[in-house]
Amino acid sequence: MKRFIILLLCVIGCFALTQFTIAEQQTQRTLQLTLQNSQGKKLEIDVQDIQEPTKLYRFDLAPVGSERIQSTIDTLFGEEAQMLVEKEVDGSPLYLLPDPQGKPGTLGAFASFSYFFGDNSISYIDYRRDLNGGEVEGINAPNCALTFEQADEKCQNFLERLGMEAPFLIAGGPRVASGKETKGFYFFQYTSAFDGISFTRSTMCTGANDTMYPFASIYISDEGIFSVGGNFQYERRNVEPIEDFVSLDELIERLQFYLESGLFDKMPPLPISSISLEMISAPKSDGSFSVRPVWVVQTDRRAVKFEWQQAGLFGLNLKIYADDGSIASM
């Protein structure tokens, strides 16, 4: 590894608890530095609150939804489960709940399941609630007894009851029902954060058909949860500690090496604005998914000017496996 030239280095290490229960497995650091190669090309790094792990694991995710179908039905429908009409569509179960307050044949709610190879999806909708609506300003839904934090907590608890491990909020906010502008509810999206490290869409390096990660979307109001969808009923298996993983300092050394080797020659003159540790998965022949930690190094692609794009310069989205240091994608 060539000795790298650092023009400005200010690395601040600070130990802090994260929002996860296993916070002792991570510390936070801030990086402000400039790397330069022998030709004078520079790479600026300005990132705060980088989660640096002290322990990492690789493991498999196995779909277990078909093993939990009865408990899932009971959780979704409660006492109304005894009123369900069960059908089968393309080999997958479908449960229909007639609306006792509506006209004969009116559907009150339904739940469908898909358990094909590697698939593990659930779709539940209660048609007796108004799903249509638009976003509103602020963090709390109008005329709703639940605050954002309360709604998030209820949704996470509900997803855990459905079999989602370590739900982690990645998007969402308040909504208002169409035609009922004063009545609010919430829409949230979750992935899983195993050992404090989450899956996010940025980890999907080869397309949705080749990678899989736990994902759930959910609607909630002060009347309860009225829609759940996603692919999140997985169980961790074959958990293996990674004895020698790529640390943040080693990652910086690799970035210097890539800078020297010309890997960043077509990168616009933008600073690296995000360095995060995430999980990435790949399908296995038995229908499960192997999961590995990955360092994600990004520039702000929204800041890429049109003239840079015309010159073939685009933002950086580099993913490096944290277990062996190989490049996953860029």
Can you give the residue ranges of every domain in the chain? 5-58+239-280+290-329, 65-232
Q: Please give the Cα distance from 39 to 42 (Å, whole number).
A: 9
pLDDT for 158 equals 97
Write down the pLDDT at residue 102.
66
- Give residue 271's pLDDT: 85
Q: What is the pLDDT of residue 10?
A: 32
- Confidence (pLDDT) at 26: 66
39: left (phi over 0), alpha (psi -120 to 50) or beta: alpha
C-alpha dist (Å) from residue 15 to 9, 68, 174, 294, 295: 19, 40, 34, 22, 20
Per-residue pLDDT, 211: 52
Low-confidence ranges of the chain (pLDDT < 50): 1-24, 203-210
Q: Are 117 and 209 in contact (CB under 8 A)?
A: no
Q: Residue 39: what pLDDT?
A: 86
Residue 216 tokens read as 């759930």
Task: Give pLDDT, residue 168.
Answer: 94
